[in-house]
Structure 1
Amino acid sequence: MNPKIKRNKKPWPTKDAMTQIYEQHLWGTNHKPFYSGEGSHNPTLVKPYLHVVQAFLKSFKAPISVCDLGCGDFNIGKELVKYSQKYIGVDIVESLIDYNTKHFKASNLAFLCLDIAKDDLPKADVVIVRQVLQHLSNTEITAILKKLTQYKYILLTEHLPNGTFAPNKDIISGQGIRNKKQSGLNILKPPFNFQIVAKKELLSMDLDGKKGVLNTTLYQVF
Structure 2
Amino acid sequence: MTKKPKQPWPTKAVMHQIYERHLWGGNETDFYSGEGSHNPEITKPYLEAVSTFLKSFTNPLTVCDLGCGDFNIGKQLTKYTKKYSAVDIVESLIERNKTLFKEDNLEFRYLDISKEALPQADCVILRQVLQHLSNAEIQNILKKLKTYKYIILTEHIPLGNFTPNKDIISGQGIRLKQNSGVNILEAPFNFKIKNEKQLNKYVLDDKKGRIVTTLFEVF
Query: TM-score scaled by structure 2?
Result: 0.97
What is the CA-CA distance between 1:209 and the residue it aligns to? 2.3
Superposed, 1:165-180 pairs within 5 Å as 165-180=162-177
Among 189, 192, 196, which residue is 1:192 paired with? Answer: 189
Superposed, 1:83-122 pairs within 5 Å as 83-122=80-119
C-alpha distance in 2 between matches for 1:9 and 1:192: 27
The secondary structure found in structure 2 opposite 1:210 is coil
Amino acid at match of 2:93: L
Mapped contact 2:22–2:28 kept (Cα < 8 A): no
C-alpha distance in 2 between matches for 1:179 and 1:8: 25
C-alpha distance in 1 between matches for 2:28 and 2:92: 16
C-alpha distance in 2 between matches for 1:20 and 1:106: 29
Mapped contact 2:84–2:105 kept (Cα < 8 A): yes
Q: Which residue of 2 aligns with 1:8?
A: 5
The secondary structure found in structure 2 opposite 1:207 is strand
C-alpha distance in 2 between matches for 1:32 and 1:130: 24
Amino acid at match of 2:26: T
Among 116, 125, 129, which residue is 1:128 paired with? Answer: 125
The secondary structure found in structure 1 opposite 2:207 is helix
C-alpha distance in 2 between matches for 1:81 and 1:97: 16
C-alpha distance in 2 between matches for 1:30 and 1:78: 20
C-alpha distance in 2 between matches for 1:184 and 1:7: 30
Closer, same or farther: CA 54–32 of 1 in aligned 2, 3 Å: farther
C-alpha distance in 2 between matches for 1:195 and 1:64: 22
C-alpha distance in 2 between matches for 1:210 and 1:44: 18
The secondary structure found in structure 2 opposite 1:73 is coil
Count of aligned residue pairs for this structure pair: 219
Amino acid at match of 2:98: T
Among 135, 138, 152, which residue is 2:135 paired with? Answer: 138
- 1:122-166 Cα offsets, whole Å, 9 max, x none, are 000000000000000000000000000010000000000111000
C-alpha distance in 1 between matches for 2:54 and 2:114: 26
Q: Which residue of 2 aligns with 1:218?
A: 215
Amino acid at match of 2:174: I
What is the CA-CA distance between 1:7 and the residue it aligns to? 6.6
Q: Which residue of 2 aligns with 1:162?
A: 159
Amino acid at match of 1:160: I
Structure 2: state its 5+ residue gaps.
none
What is the CA-CA distance between 1:32 and the residue it aligns to? 4.3
Amino acid at match of 1:110: E
The secondary structure found in structure 2 opposite 1:74 is coil
Q: Which residue of 1 aligns with 2:202?
A: 205
CA RMSD, 1 decimal: 1.4
State whether structure 2 residue 68 is matched by structure 1 residue 71. Answer: yes
